[in-house]
Amino acid sequence: MEKILITGGAGFIGSHTVVELTKAGYSPVIVDDFSNSNQSAIRGIESIIKQSVKVYEGDCNDAQFMNDLFVAEQNITGVIHFAAYKAVGESVEKPLQYYQNNVGSLMVLLDVMKKNGVENVVFSSSCTVYGEPDQLPVTEKSPIKPAESPYGNTKQVCEEILEDVIKSDADYKAIALRYFNPIGAHPSSHIGELPLGVPNNLIPFVTQTAAGHREQLTIFGDEYDTPDGTCVRDYIHVVDLAKAHVKALQHFKNQNTPYYDVFNIGTGKGNSVLEVVKTFEKVSEQKLKYKIGDKRTGDVEQVFGDVEKANNELHWKAALTLEDALRDAWNWQKKLK
């Protein structure tokens, strides 16, 4: 069984990926500092895969710790690098922390991989690199726009680092997956999103409002140039997204070093905030309290991805619907209470 290191493996996307990797016959090893995740995610993973999972607690920026981990594990064949800070607003307040953690950890990782003869790395990037797109859907060839936040910039910088390093060194294969908006939870309700404090993202705010933890949802703007005036996003079920990482690892097998490529990972379809609210009301069989508020600074009007490249080259396609994702997110929220 191939051993894959999953940094940030206790997080939202990481935990679902650990499950899908196990199902696909890989042996995942998690490293996480639990700064924005919880041990309960590990128990959730273990309930689904019905076996224990190996976890190292520590900081991916700590080169000594990371090197010791690679040495202790010996035959790691690939890394999926999720570990990163991800709050857009917070990144504006604490840019240094974001650059240090998000960019620093990738540099440490590439160096430690090299020292230990590990070639393959999948990197978590984001559709945020496209900014406010000129044309929709965005393809991997769409222009990269100046980042709206330090968080967004860390994703751009990390992609550039990967590209430069791979240009200079024949011993790596890397894939950056540009995620659209990951939502949902595992259908078993054993793992899902665990936002700390008041959620920034739409779906956890919706489910927490429905559960009575929030007074009401504020929809950020309804005068955008979109069919119903609210922003449009490409919402992808986290289980589909997790599976894309398995496909990326399998894709490395057919490539020679050096190799670097980027793929959009979304559904290819855009949904508005109001459509999300209506769909949520349908699957949860209840009315959601919401009001229309001001636009949120930095929000793009619409973005959804052209996912042909991932369909054709990674042989991956999103299979689950917005309804599936919202139902799973709601079931997860009900379990959390």
Where along the sequence are the contacts to ligand UFG (CB under 6 A)?
86, 88, 126, 128, 151-152, 181, 200-202, 205, 217-220, 231, 233, 273, 296, 299-300
Q: Is the dihedral of CA 93, 99, 101, 102 positive or negative?
A: positive
Beta bridge partners of 233: 271
Is 151 catalytic? The answer is yes
Cα distances from 82 to residues 1, 246, 285, in angstroms, run 22, 14, 34
Question: One of 26, 85, 98, 151 is an active-site residue; which one?
Answer: 151
* Complex with ligand UFG: residue 58 or 199, whichever CB lies closer: 199
Q: Say if residues 276 and 194 touch (Cβ distance below 8 Å).
A: no
DSSP one-letter string for 149-194: SHHHHHHHHHHHHHHHHHHH-TT-EEEEEEE-EEE---TTSSS---
* Complex with ligand UFG: residue 22 or 207, whichever CB lies closer: 207
Residue 313 CB: number of other CB atoms within 10 A? 15
We find the least distance from the C-beta atom of residue 75 to ligand UFG, in angstroms, to be 33
Q: Say if residues 280 and 288 touch (Cβ distance below 8 Å).
A: yes
Return phi, psi of residue 29, to 5°.
Answer: -120, 125
* Complex with ligand UFG: residue 220 or 259, whichever CB lies closer: 220
The tokens for 147 are 């980042």
Q: Which residue is nearest to ligand UFG (CB)?
A: 231
Tokens 């699957």 correspond to: 283
Beta bridge partners of 80: 6, 122
Residue type, 249: L
Residues with a known catalytic role: 151
